[in-house]
Structure 1
Amino acid sequence: MPTGAKLLLEKIRELPLPDKVRIMNVCGGHERSISMAGLRTALPANIELIPGPGCPVCICPEEDIYQAIQIAINEEVVLLAFGDMLRVPVNVPKAAIRTLEQAKAAGADIRPIASPTEAVKIASANPEKTVVFFVAGFETTCAPVAAMLAEGIPDNLLLLMSGRLTWPAVAMLLDSDTPAFDALIAPGHVATIMGSEEWRFVVDQHHIPTAIAGFTTESLLAAIYSVLRQLIEHKIFLDNCYTQVVTAKGNNTARKLLHSTLDIVDAPWRGIGIIPQSGLELTAKFAAHNARYRFPVYADEARKKAGTMPPGCDCAKVVLGKIKPNECRLYGESCVPRNPVGPCMVSDEGACRIWWASGIKNGLPTKSMKVPD
């Protein structure tokens, strides 16, 4: 295979491409790298790169965020969450508290953290307080949470789990009547934990070219080149273009920790609904640390509306790859990073936020970007 970003780009341009090829990149980190490198303007126009359901903040159920807000404002607790989660809005009247950030401003003890070790430190330093860690994330986030649980956590530390597995969402898209993509770039970070073989079903069951990519321009172009050649040559296989860290079986220790501490359950994805066997919840062994059991009154069943987005928000269609971020009715109008309406404009892994940051307002990027050597 050719190496170097420029050489790969030249090889892609030389391929006898069909009129249109739709390639979905699942990972939010991939989308950020693609957008910031300007690959959409560098690649042939008939290659469409589609952002997929790879932003955990974007798909975190509205009812989970609401529950976290209610616990924080009504109970004597310290609530911890990864920073992006503080700005995700829920569907409540304008006068009500809509985000964890607003709850913090109203006096709730809410603290952003960057890793599970911080949660343990805060709980250990405040033994007289109940500390609730709101965990939203995919396998790469949940693996260190599993390690934290296996090592033992303070009695006063509770977890409100909103963990998700990535592959079931892709399986759901492929099982639909009209899949929105012809080839798949599978997520490198997830494959590091779970192994490349987890994505073999895309090839074996759906006969769709698949390549696992890292986060450099070269690795992404190598994956794009691979899936394009697979399509053209009708030789479909699973290609690992991130061999520096991804193996067939992944990180065995991390997988064992996930299996021993977390159960796989049916779970809602915001804007999508229930995806079978896609959620991660604490096992019965850790029931005493489950915030859902400690504060059941805030689990509002009425909020489970297949993960409703705010009125006018098309984040669900963006997450599913049905529309481009800038085709959302609110994009760049009432929904901008400083005042997000939908979750895709909040996180730096959200497609709308990424497109806005890379200069995409109403069409193509406002400035051309150079593909590195």
Structure 2
Amino acid sequence: MADDFATARGWLEKLHDLPLTGEIRVMNVCGGHERSLTQLGLRGVLPAAIKLIPGPGCPVCVCPEEDIADAIALAMSREVTLVAFGDMLRVPINAPKGEVRSLAEARAQGADIRPIASPLEATALATALAPRPVVFFAAGFETTTAPVAAMLAQGAPDNLSVLLSARLTWPAVDMLLRADSSCLDALIAPGHVAAVMGAREWGFIPQTHHLPVAVAGFSANSLLAALYSVLRQKLAGKPFLDNCYPELVAPEGNKRAQALLAQVMEVRDATWRGIGTIPASGFALNSAYARFDARARFQPAAPPRRHAGEMPPGCDCASVVLGRKLPTQCRLYGRACTPRAPVGPCMVSDEGACHIWWQAGERPAA
């Protein structure tokens, strides 16, 4: 522990020795990075020139509102048990007052909805409840989608199906930079995604957008090393891809996990909540595993809603996810929207920037 502290202090001294001028905007793509940066209090000890910006790496925040509505409709209209990762249960949809607005509310009204932590729990539950249908509402990025693919490839029970809402991380970053690469000076890439897909996946940032990037883990030392790397690249005017998480991230990634994804999934255009459709950014079950597709098996249909597919009125979660606003700049943050009564998805998840900032004590000005 003492060695870790000494190393972190060394990185901070190096950062403060850099000849930084003006404001340097660094996006940390991953919600886990945002949680570590905030809980460790790193913003308060970095040079004032560095502005850390939360990015789109929160799967709960970008899960399409329509998919959650379908999950609610399915759980309430069919004799099924629906399971989902815990955070998904509290994400609200745009339903009128008095109607069910989340999976948690559907559960309170009698639907059989259960939180799980891993695909193994879904398989075990389906086996225990057979022949009752069990639907796994699987939302997430590559890190959690690879275990879903493994679950199906290894032979899931016949009564288990998957309502898939899985996304690839890098296309959202590419879209953001194509829209306006001048809004950022450097990026920190997610270590857990890179552990699956490989560090090389993030090479498009320096190659196409000419910006520095470094893959980081979740410790203070890895994050500070990545920050130092991208700032050195920025000052030198020579952007490249640096891997500051070599203990877990290889250039080529986890080949076995990638093979399972390729075996079970195919990549399609996909909708991101509040953002719209991003080409080739979503996973879907391929034809060989279509029998496990809950949409094909049950054909859930949520009732028409006025603001279907949108963020709630007044909610700036989409701008927060895209790095265009900080959580405290949202019009609802800490007023109408708190973790106890979330309006937007960024206030729900442990990887949502608004939730992280609130838990760290960031409150709106009186």
Normalised by the size of structure 1, how large is the TM-score? 0.94
- The one of 81, 91, 114 equivalent to 2:84 is 81
Structure 2 contact 73–300 (Cα < 8 Å) conserved: no
- The one of 326, 329, 332 equivalent to 2:331 is 329
Looking at structure 1, the residues matched to 171 and 163 of structure 2 have their Cα atoms a distance apart, in angstroms, of: 21
Other-structure match for 1:367: none
- Superposition pairs of residues 232-271 of structure 1, within 5 angstroms: 232-271=235-274
Looking at structure 2, the residues matched to 27 and 51 of structure 1 have their Cα atoms a distance apart, in angstroms, of: 8
Output the amino acid matched with 1:139.
E
- Superposition pairs of residues 268-307 of structure 1, within 5 angstroms: 268-298=271-301, 307=309
Other-structure match for 2:62: 59
Looking at structure 2, the residues matched to 303 and 172 of structure 1 have their Cα atoms a distance apart, in angstroms, of: 27
Other-structure match for 2:318: 316
Output the amino acid matched with 2:28.
N
CA displacement, residues 279-312 of structure 1 (integer Å, 9 cap, x when unaligned): 001111111110111222416687896x310111
Looking at structure 2, the residues matched to 10 and 56 of structure 1 have their Cα atoms a distance apart, in angstroms, of: 34
- Superposition pairs of residues 99-114 of structure 1, within 5 angstroms: 99-114=102-117
Looking at structure 2, the residues matched to 114 and 156 of structure 1 have their Cα atoms a distance apart, in angstroms, of: 20
Structure 1 contact 209–237 (Cα < 8 Å) conserved: yes
SS at structure 1 position matched to 2:110: coil
Shift of 1:18: 2.3
Output the amino acid matched with 2:347.
M
Structure 1 contact 192–246 (Cα < 8 Å) conserved: yes
Matched, 1:354 2:360: no
Other-structure match for 2:142: 139
Structure 1 contact 63–300 (Cα < 8 Å) conserved: no
Output the amino acid matched with 1:312.
G
Looking at structure 1, the residues matched to 10 and 165 of structure 2 have their Cα atoms a distance apart, in angstroms, of: 42
Output the amino acid matched with 1:359.
G
Matched, 1:10 2:18: no
- The one of 319, 339, 342 equivalent to 1:340 is 342
Query: Which consecutive unaligned segments of at least 5 residues does structure 2 have?
Result: 1-5
Output the amino acid matched with 1:191.
A
Specify whether residues 150 and 304 from structure 1 end up closer, same or farther in structure 2 by C-alpha distance, changes over 3 A only: farther
Other-structure match for 1:175: 178
Q: How many pairs were matched up?
A: 360
SS at structure 2 position matched to 1:129: coil
Shift of 1:196: 0.2
Specify whether residues 211 and 52 from structure 1 end up closer, same or farther in structure 2 by C-alpha distance, changes over 3 A only: same
- Superposition pairs of residues 62-211 of structure 1, within 5 angstroms: 62-211=65-214
Output the amino acid matched with 1:106.
Q
SS at structure 1 position matched to 2:267: strand
Structure 1 contact 188–213 (Cα < 8 Å) conserved: yes
Looking at structure 2, the residues matched to 328 and 179 of structure 1 have their Cα atoms a distance apart, in angstroms, of: 22
Looking at structure 2, the residues matched to 86 and 258 of structure 1 have their Cα atoms a distance apart, in angstroms, of: 25
Report the aligned-residue RMSD: 1.4
CA displacement, residues 100-124 of structure 1 (integer Å, 9 cap, x when unaligned): 0000000000000000000000100
Other-structure match for 2:26: 23
| Identity across matched positions, percent | 60
CA displacement, residues 331-370 of structure 1 (integer Å, 9 cap, x when unaligned): 011111111110000000000000011111137xxxxxxx
Other-structure match for 1:369: none
Normalised by the size of structure 2, how large is the TM-score? 0.96
